[in-house]
Structure 1
């Protein structure tokens, strides 16, 4: 659960903080609280019917076939772009250390960034062939440790390498708030993976405790990284804070090398719901085929490698995914499904007020964040 919630968003939170100013940290806390709340709603929806095993099943239980189709579309797109972002992150950071590296595949020559995207895909390949979430949970421990190592290395750059903590920054920047909110929201886009994790648990009654502890750990990590990055680099912080690290320093190389550990398990967990959705559409005699399942996952990996090579930047993927897809999947849909299944709209109370507030804010964030992301892309095109 920790590796799913604490993902590549950790690299972008310093940039998000620099865009919105110090007071935007309160928004990060509110987003974390809302995301944890909607995680509880997902669990409650699943408990209403033992046949519910996925996020799409929840939507179908609430709104029928149309609900399943819409939820399937949004979750698959969200998880696909998150997986693509993992590969973009790998390519950008490894290219920073080895700027002169390149590959030749037959008559086709690849520059450094694209070469590392391909190599990252090859490193991740074995993990997508594993169907057992229990096995992936042990591999995930390396991803959790890598996140902590990155935080420590950024701290070392400020404390030991002579950079210092001089970036005072701004208290509030309203013009950059849409970007800030989109990137903060991107950090909590794991809800589509909650149902299979919940179903895989032997002690399902411990899910609320697992969810809460995971969100607390990840939010503390996000806030620590955001604060350190902004204090050290100020307004010069890049969309991935590791790109600010000096490559000649040992701590910088350690940070960038350890980035490779996260996607090994994170990628496989991320694309699993997409693969499951595709498998459910196959003829009955192919749905339980392990070879077909592995082929689907390898195909998804290959497609996302190509997409990562084509898309222009990590920031564009993260902000657009956060504004459109994560807002819908992690905040809007769980609230609407819960309202429909439990009919809490018939009785006003704290629960209903909380859900209505989350729905309204989700719509506003989605509209403003999408507009801001597209405007920035056009500006820098």
Structure 2
């Protein structure tokens, strides 16, 4: 945060972090498929044998999810809290309002996880629906709108690049959403 210019660029914090995360996910997926093939069930951790090492991996995964939930919940809370805060008037209600709001939102996510038997289908649907839009459709669209009409490079190469990325993202959005909706409604 002391040097915000280190965030961007080819070897900036964002690109370096995303490359490391993508490499880890790709490696886990590749080696998991290499080991279990078509027999893989949902998460790779579900396929691990019942050994002490495998149980410790599951325990560490559960602990990391538990401990990072507050960080992951930071953005939704920042979206919801200002609206609720504007409705609260007394000092007493403001004092307890944030804690009650967090409790209610966490309870909703807990109930959803407890009541939906195949949560992985819902997670995949949300990922296909929103991740492709957030990662592959909106950023090129914003770049086009930002540099329109005279800063798109020689022969409008940025425009064509962004159009290709958006077509790829829209294709993933349509097919991913279709497949996940089909799996949710017709899996049983």
User: Shorter-normalised TM-score: what interval?
Assistant: 0.7 to 0.9
User: Which whole-Å deviations, capped at 9, do the CAs of 1:16-49 have from their partners, x for residues lacking one?
Assistant: xxxxxxxxxxxxxxxxxxxxxxxxxxxxxxxxxx
Q: Is the 8 A contact 2:7 2:13 kept in 1?
A: yes
Counterparts of 1:336 and 1:376, CA distance in 2: 30
Q: Is the 8 A contact 2:122 2:184 kept in 1?
A: no
Q: Which one of 73, 76, 80 corresponds to residue 274 of structure 1?
A: 76
TM-score, normalised relative to structure 2 = 0.83
Distance 1:340 1:266, change over 3 A: farther
TM-score, normalised relative to structure 1 = 0.43
Distance 1:304 1:252, change over 3 A: same
CA-atom RMSD in angstroms: 2.4
Identify which of structures 1 and 2 has the higher relative contact order when contacts are C-alpha pairs closer than 8 Å and 6+ apart: 1
Determine helix, strand or coil for the equivalent of 1:308: helix
Q: Which one of 202, 212, 219 corresponds to residue 2 of structure 2?
A: 202
Partner of 2:47: 244
Distance 1:267 1:283, change over 3 A: same
Answering whether residue 127 of structure 2 is matched by residue 340 of structure 1, we say no
Counterparts of 1:343 and 1:313, CA distance in 2: 44
Counterparts of 2:187 and 2:124, CA distance in 1: 15
Partner of 1:230: 33
Partner of 2:15: 212
User: Which whole-Å deviations, capped at 9, do the CAs of 1:140-175 have from their partners, x for residues lacking one?
Assistant: xxxxxxxxxxxxxxxxxxxxxxxxxxxxxxxxxxxx
Distance 1:226 1:290, change over 3 A: farther
Partner of 1:51: none
Answering whether residue 114 of structure 2 is matched by residue 328 of structure 1, we say no
Partner of 1:365: 172
Q: Is the 8 A contact 1:339 1:345 kept in 2?
A: no
Q: Is the 8 A contact 1:323 1:370 kept in 2?
A: yes
Q: Which one of 277, 299, 307 corresponds to residue 112 of structure 2?
A: 307
Q: Is the 8 A contact 1:327 1:362 kept in 2?
A: yes
Partner of 1:353: 160
Aligned residues: 179
Partner of 1:116: none
Counterparts of 1:377 and 1:316, CA distance in 2: 6
Deviation at 1:253, TM superposition (A): 0.5
Determine helix, strand or coil for the equivalent of 1:327: helix
Determine helix, strand or coil for the equivalent of 1:202: coil
Q: Is the 8 A contact 1:324 1:366 kept in 2?
A: yes
Deviation at 1:284, TM superposition (A): 8.0
Determine helix, strand or coil for the equivalent of 2:7: helix
Q: Which one of 240, 252, 257 corresponds to residue 59 of structure 2?
A: 257
Distance 1:291 1:363, change over 3 A: same
Q: Is the 8 A contact 2:133 2:169 kept in 1?
A: yes
Deviation at 1:307, TM superposition (A): 0.5
Distance 1:345 1:339, change over 3 A: farther
In structure 2, the gaps of 5 or more residues are none
Q: Select between 307-316 and 330-339 the one with higher mean Cα deviation.
A: 330-339
Q: Is the 8 A contact 1:323 1:365 kept in 2?
A: yes
Deviation at 1:265, TM superposition (A): 4.2
Counterparts of 2:82 and 2:52, CA distance in 1: 47
